Amino acid sequence: MIDLHSHSNISDGLFSPTELVAHAAEHGVNVLALTDHDDISGLSEASQAARLHGIQLINGVEISVTWKKRTLHIVGLNIDVDNEALKTELASVRQSRLDRARQMASGLEKSGIHGSFEGASAYAKQSILTRMHFARFLVEHKYAKDPKSVFKKYLVKGKPGFVDHQWMDLESAVSLIVNAGGVAVLAHPGRYDIRRTNMLLLLEEFRALGGSAIEVVTGSHTAAQYVEYAKYAQLFGLKASQGSDYHGKGISFMEMGRLPALPSGCVPVWQDWADIQGLSSVQKLPNVQ
């Protein structure tokens, strides 16, 4: 079982990197990528835990990007964690997240919700502050019953806690990943509010910039979307990735170890990763119709 997208409490997951790896092992995962938002500092702990559990850890990251006024996520896999440019850029994203969090808190303050910056920070283990941390604070204080409704009521466009933040541009994110020796993967494409014409433009641009895969099977795609994005991958000669996007109990789309196989015709992103060849047969099947 290969799972190439997951979060620890270094970003907005609930488990520490060690606990996350143990959880993955218990659920039958044998290749795991830890892909915290804009932070790679959980990877050394995770790789130690992975050795202990006989899991292969893939060094990953999930970078937020602004493309045509939309927020997209680009996952980097097999990145060099010592790459200086990557470390410097991610540090600056974390700083901008902090500024954004203060603006979010002031928006919430205006609608009568006090102390959300401190409240959200209390859930953050490190410097990364995400909307998920605000969601947990708001649920704890009974502003909504669960993270899903909290997002809808407070944290999306047009709502008091939303800040129209400017993330990294697509070109910078892809080149940072590629220059750090990694593979750039467009995360959960089915989650963006993008019509077909723009999706075609995005995939064209992403590939031209050096992107090489898209997530086809992810916790937030429906079965129909697995097929849809398998076709997009094929159309653009992009490889296919799969990952649960696990964050922890109650805040995840899918439990670990439950990912279905990639649709036939997909070229797995791990196709030429020598060390995991033994774990999965390369799928060389007829084209998706």
Q: Which residue, 67, 219, 38, 195, is CA-closest to 130?
A: 38
Of the residues 120, 215, 247, 268, which one makes contact with ligand AMP according to CB under 6 A = 247
Listed ranges 60-68, 115-123, 157-165, 220-228: which one lies at the site for Mn ion (CB under 5 A): 60-68
Count of residues that interact with ligand AMP, criterion CB under 6 A: 10
Q: Does 148 bind ligand AMP (CB under 6 A)?
A: yes
Q: Can you give the length of the chain in residues? A: 289
Handedness of CA 263, 269, 272, 275 (dihedral sign): negative
Q: Which is nearer to ligand AMP, 14 or 266 (CB)?
A: 14
CA 218 – CA 26 distance, rounded (Å): 20
Contacts of Mn ion in 232-261 (CB under 5 A): 245
For ligand AMP, the binding residues in 41-70 under the rule CB under 6 A are 64
Handedness of CA 109, 115, 119, 121 (dihedral sign): positive
User: What backbone phi and psi angles, to 5 degrees, belong to 32?
Assistant: -130, 130
Is residue 264 within 8 A of residue 283, CB to CB? The reply is yes
* Separation CA 111–CA 150 (nearest Å): 14
**Is the CB of 96 or the CB of 280 nearer to ligand AMP?**
96
Task: Rule CB under 6 A: choose which of 151, 206, 232, 246 binds ligand AMP.
Answer: 151
Nearer to ligand AMP, 132 or 176 (CB): 132
Of 232 and 246, the one with the shorter C-beta distance to ligand AMP is 246
Q: In angstroms, what CA-CA distances link 65 with 168, 187, 275?
A: 5, 11, 30
The least distance separating ligand AMP from the CB of residue 72, rounded to whole angstroms, comes to 11
The whole-angstrom separation of Cα 11 and Cα 170 is 21
Binding at 148: pick from ligand AMP, Mn ion, none (beta carbon under 5-8 Å per type): ligand AMP
Among the listed ranges 24-32, 44-52, 66-74, 210-218, the one in contact with Mn ion (CB under 5 A) is 66-74
**Would you say 65 or 105 has its CB closer to Mn ion?**
65
Distance CA 288, CA 56 (A): 30
Burial class (CB in 10 A: 0-12, 13-18, 19+), 174: buried
What type of residue sits at position 67?
W
**Measured from the CB atom, is 221 or 247 closer to ligand AMP?**
247
Question: Do residues 242 and 217 make contact, with C-beta atoms less than 8 angstroms apart?
Answer: yes
79: which 2 tokens? 């990145």
User: CB nearest ligand AMP: which residue?
Assistant: 130
Does 94 sit near ligand AMP (CB under 6 A)?
A: no
Specify the stretch interacting with Mn ion by CB under 5 A; choose among 57-65, 90-98, 113-121, 157-165: 57-65
Rg (C-alpha) for the chain, rounded Å, is: 18
| Closest CB to ligand AMP among residues 167, 270 | 167
- Does position 147 interact with ligand AMP (CB under 6 A)? The reply is yes
Instruction: Report how far Cα 68 is from the mean position of its chain's Cα atoms.
Output: 19
Chain positions 106 to 135 lying near ligand AMP, rule: CB under 6 A, are 130-132
The binding site for ligand AMP (CB under 6 A) comprises 12, 37, 64, 130-132, 147-148, 151, 247
**Residues of this chain that bind Mn ion (CB under 5 A):** 12, 62, 73, 187, 245
